[in-house]
Structure 1
């Protein structure tokens, strides 16, 4: 099987890093150092080599190093499916993010054709106990990893829904104003639902097909109001109710992802903190296994503070599964002892802070 590997990563005026360059050989990367040193910033830079706003969902101006605020730039060499690509993404002060692939300007969706990047960040630890929006975003990121055009359907749906909501708030009753908008919502909504359902099928199949030390989850796509097959007709029939609420009350924007700890039959939201973390890791690993088959190479994994809530046995199991998957995984933690089970299977990067500037030091071993 082919590999997906970053062999070089350079940051310029990105977050806390004035300048940082790391050379990588395809092994997992263990990044350690004190809180606030800039470890997560390295992972965030890699996340911006995929479509979207990265793992922190930050705006372009928020990524620039302060106080200079000159703009920022990330460059990388990516080996993907037996080809090598030069990637550059950057933003000048006050301007939107730009992208070049092999020296040519490209839209962000083009990144999805050559790379697959998955991440797990500490804010996701509360995924199962907070609102549905975070779970939809989690599912849509997984869906995007299989189907890069999923983002286009989501954007089309959301744009049309904003227009419809504006009409509802203005109490517009003429049906002619709604028909084209609702047709667009129905078409995009059907694509979103189909993509999400396909993703759930792939995740569950990947969980069940491989032995794992992590618990499996039974996943279900739900909604407060069932999403009908004929969404266009349902939207038309529901205008009165929606007008009273001032917003659209049915559709894939109301969907939720339910998860049940399969072995115990317990809802994820009722599981312990450690079990919830283990379920998340299980889904990320399942996503990675499914992508390795679907894309032809395992994805790059970004696992920020992944050792939190994991005991030594489960940490070792995680590292073994990453090794078996063959993925280039970027993992961060506060101390080197969190990665002792990796030994020479990993590269090591220590990040410290000097005079408000992150300093990156590559180490040959722990």
Structure 2
């Protein structure tokens, strides 16, 4: 299978990964080439924990969406309750970058809540969203098997991760939107003392900020979905083809008229919903309510197109893998660098034809894909083309 549509681009990948007090790893230092990485070991050995550490080098809370304190090492070597940390060196077309992130060990004492630190080349970053300017990290894990049957919020996070891989500024827009939404909610709950006139002016300003950010977020989602659909159409292997659509009020308004009109509509809706939002504690309008709709092309349910939620588990897994490969092709074409792709136990569910097609596309795209499994034999086609490691109880050695 060839990477149809991808343009020549630089290989991006981790050349060094170090974990401290992370899950079942007390200490780990791993030197790497830019080839794909295969992690082999029994269930519970720590393969997924390694992928989670890499996922934290992107925006958001990682592939498990775990609380910061839940990631700390629980073994006998952490009696002092040391905070976890992840450090990596990343090779890109622009050179090598040192990235670091971890739980702030002082935050609980100082503020009563956990906080995550992010550093780039030793200097503090504004947030982990800044990592998106350096690399794109995408993943497929078994927990995503129910993505299309899950709540809309799960599909929305997945969509935004895809969009951020293509457009690194998307993560910062979402962070700004969510910050303004939280501040608006605080005002509506009466947590900030202010005169009625001042309160209205403050709410007006926050709702204007939310509306502008929301329209930019929706536009970025729609543009990325259109591009992903073209990339999916370019696929020429045995994986199913999908059609994606970003759905929501703001996305719909953008198809009906100009962006300024969509901003005005959202601002009016937010203002009209102040009382109901205050009573319910939920912000009714905005791009945090949007969803991702996926259809399996070429298949139908009666006379209707077959939606992903109506597919079998195997078909849903194949759809997600097809989307991941299309995103990799598109990211490489747009950014000039392919993403780091984390595939946890994805190979064991594939037949031989799809497994070989996946490996061929990974190699054709020059991806530093990280693949996990319990059976080394499944990865035989990658021998000589990938780095093989055995994982055993928080320890790693070359195979």
**TM-score, normalization by structure 2:** 0.82
Report the 3-state secondary structure (helix = DSSP H, G, I; strand = E; otherwise coil) of the residue aligned with 1:360.
strand
Distance in 1, Cα, partners of 2:325 & 2:272 = 42
Report the 3-state secondary structure (helix = DSSP H, G, I; strand = E; otherwise coil) of the residue aligned with 1:263.
strand
Task: State the partner residue of 2:336.
Answer: 296
Q: Deviations over 1:234-280 (max 9, x none)?
A: 32344465566553322211111000001213100001111100110
Matched, 1:194 2:219: yes
Distance in 1, Cα, partners of 2:281 & 2:74 = 41
Seen in structure 2, the aligned counterparts of structure 1 residues 28 and 243 have a Cα distance that, compared at 3 Å, is same
> Which shifted more, 1-10 or 255-264?
1-10
Report the 3-state secondary structure (helix = DSSP H, G, I; strand = E; otherwise coil) of the residue aligned with 1:8.
strand
Q: Deviations over 1:162-187 (max 9, x none)?
A: 344455566x9985563222212211
Distance in 2, Cα, partners of 1:65 & 1:245 = 38
Report the 3-state secondary structure (helix = DSSP H, G, I; strand = E; otherwise coil) of the residue aligned with 1:127.
helix
In the TM superposition, 1:112-261 aligns within 5 A as 112-166=132-186, 176=201, 178-223=203-248, 228=253, 229=262, 230-239=265-274, 242=277, 245-261=280-296
Distance in 2, Cα, partners of 1:207 & 1:23 = 34
> Which shifted more, 55-64 or 270-279?
55-64
Seen in structure 2, the aligned counterparts of structure 1 residues 38 and 255 have a Cα distance that, compared at 3 Å, is same
Distance in 1, Cα, partners of 2:251 & 2:334 = 30
> Which shifted more, 56-65 or 323-332?
56-65
Report the 3-state secondary structure (helix = DSSP H, G, I; strand = E; otherwise coil) of the residue aligned with 2:84.
strand
Seen in structure 2, the aligned counterparts of structure 1 residues 225 and 151 have a Cα distance that, compared at 3 Å, is closer
Seen in structure 2, the aligned counterparts of structure 1 residues 20 and 210 have a Cα distance that, compared at 3 Å, is same
Matched, 1:81 2:93: yes
Seen in structure 2, the aligned counterparts of structure 1 residues 246 and 65 have a Cα distance that, compared at 3 Å, is closer
Task: State the partner residue of 1:286.
Answer: 326
Report the 3-state secondary structure (helix = DSSP H, G, I; strand = E; otherwise coil) of the residue aligned with 1:344.
coil
Match of 2:17 among 3, 6, 9: 9
Distance in 1, Cα, partners of 2:333 & 2:242 = 20
> Which shifted more, 297-306 or 52-61?
52-61
> Which shifted more, 254-263 or 62-71?
62-71
Distance in 2, Cα, partners of 1:277 & 1:286 = 14
Task: State the partner residue of 2:112.
Answer: none
Task: State the partner residue of 1:359.
Answer: 395
Seen in structure 2, the aligned counterparts of structure 1 residues 159 and 83 have a Cα distance that, compared at 3 Å, is closer
User: How many residues are paired up?
Assistant: 358
Distance in 2, Cα, partners of 1:212 & 1:343 = 22
Distance in 2, Cα, partners of 1:285 & 1:100 = 29
Task: State the partner residue of 2:6.
Answer: none
Seen in structure 2, the aligned counterparts of structure 1 residues 179 and 24 have a Cα distance that, compared at 3 Å, is same
Across the aligned residues of Structure 1 and Structure 2, the Cα RMSD in angstroms comes to 2.4
Match of 1:338 among 369, 373, 378: 378
Seen in structure 2, the aligned counterparts of structure 1 residues 93 and 211 have a Cα distance that, compared at 3 Å, is same
Report the alpha carbon displacement of residue 148 of structure 1 after superposing the two structures with TM. Answer: 2.3
Matched, 1:54 2:89: no
CA contact (8 A) 1:215 1:261 kept: yes
| Structure 1 residue runs without a partner (length 5+) | none
Distance in 1, Cα, partners of 2:57 & 2:89 = 11
